[in-house]
Amino acid sequence: MRMSRQPEGPPPPPVVQRLRVRYAKRGRLRFTSHRDFARAFERALRRSGVPIAFSAGFTPHPKVSYAGAAPTGVASDAEYLEIGLAAVREPAEVRAALDGALPPGLDIVEVVQAPADGGSLADRIEASAWRIVLPGVSAEAAGAALDRLLAADGAPVERLTKDGPRTVDARAVLLSARLANGSPDPEPAEVNARCATLEVVVRHSSPAVRPDDILTALRAIGALSTPVTPVVTRLAQGLVDPTSPEDARRLVDPLSEPGTVRA
């Protein structure tokens, strides 16, 4: 018997439904890398019995496509992916099944049916809003550093990428940045007079400018000093709402588009 280049048997069942998923990486599970999340998600698919479709070939892959990913160690309330199912399911049921199969901290926030002809998920995402909590930094110091960065013409930051050191401009992609008033909700206890919180909206670019790069720029140009490791959370992704104020840009929820069926 000689092996053929194609597996025997019928091809796998086709995709009959596309679902878009918003998920969160929270607490200690923010230290999962994108690969860690992908493995956990694919196992959760198998445990939950969601009828995921598979690609053809000798090594079938589940039909999951990820739209970017927050860096390892950064929490996120707004990560996105799309799955293709081989059988039609209620989005709300899929949300509950997947969330139940994932460990607490990797949470499925929302599942909606993808619009039939609404373009790709990536087309609905051009920027991210990040919250940066700076323990041990006063609001005055953080505000001053932010002002200096915003006043600069450019903020070159060198970062090691897979292709070697690259320089990105952390200022050019900074759409808006402000000192958040009051305490961020999830951890009020940590917040005191010496814990400033920044909210920045950053346009996606290639190579990406990460929250770390913004912090590097704040240190270099804004003379910011961070005695304790800052805690960063992605709050939202989406297209920039042109009606939002220039110093506090809002993003349009990529799942709440016209034509999208809400879960």
Partner 1 sequence: MTTSQPVESVFPRLEPLLPLVRKPVQYVGGELHATVKDWDAATVRWALMYPDAYEVGQPNQGLQILYEVLNEQPDVLAERTYCVWPDLEVLMRQHGIPQFTVDAHRPVGAFDLLGVSFATELGYTNLLTALDLAGVPILAAARSDGHPIVVAGGHAAFNPEPIADFIDAAVLGDGEQAVLAITDLVRAWRAGGCAGGRAGLLAALAESGVAYVPAYYDVSYLPDGRIQRVAPNRPGVPWRVAKHTVMDLDEWPYPKRPLVPLAETVHERYSVEIFRGCTRGCRFCQAGMITRPVRERSITTVGEMVQNGIAATGFEEVGLLSLSSADHSEIGEIAKGLADRYDGENVSLSLPSTRVDAFNITLANELSRNGRRTGLTFAPEGGSERMRQVINKMVTEDDLIRTVATAYGNGWRQVKLYFMCGLPTETDEDVLSIAGMARRVIATGREAAGRKDIRCTVSIGAFVPKPHTPFQWAAQLDHESVDHRLRALRSAISHDREFGRSIGLRYHDGRPSIIEGLLSRGDRRVGAVIRLVWERGQRFDGWSEHFSFERWTEACDEVFADQPVSLDWYTTRERALSEVLPWDHLDAGLDKDWMWEDWQQALAGGEVEDCRWSPCYDCGVCPSLGTETQVGPTGRALLPLTPV
Residue whose structure tokens are 């000192």: 179
User: Among the candidate windows 83-91, 99-107, 170-178, 249-257, which touches partner 1 by CB under 8 A?
Assistant: 99-107
Q: What angle do CA 12, 55, 103 make, to 5 degrees?
A: 110
Is 166 a binding residue for partner 1 by CB under 8 A? The answer is no
Taking CB under 8 A as the binding criterion, the range among 2-10, 145-153, 167-175, 249-257 that sits at the site for partner 1 is: 2-10
Tell me if 54 contacts partner 1 by CB under 8 A.
yes
| The one among 192, 228, 241, 262 contacting partner 1 by CB under 8 A | 228
CA atoms of 41 and 35, how far apart (whole Å): 10
Interface with partner 1 (CB under 8 A), residue from 17, 66, 68, 105: 105
Look up tokens 């939950």; give the residue: 48
> Which 3 state secondary structure label does DSSP give 227?
coil
Binds partner 1 (CB under 8 A): choice among 21, 45, 127, 252: 45
**Choice from 53, 67, 81, 101 touching partner 1 (CB under 8 A):** 101
Helix (H, G, I), strand (E, B), or coil: what is residue 58?
Answer: coil
47 binds partner 1 (CB under 8 A): yes
Q: Hey, which residues does 202 pair with through a beta bridge?
A: 128, 174
- Pairwise CA distance, residues 133 & 180, whole Å: 10
Amino acid at 257: E
Interface positions with partner 1 (CB under 8 A)? 1-3, 7, 9, 28-29, 31-33, 35-36, 39-40, 42-47, 54, 58-60, 72-73, 101, 103-105, 228-229
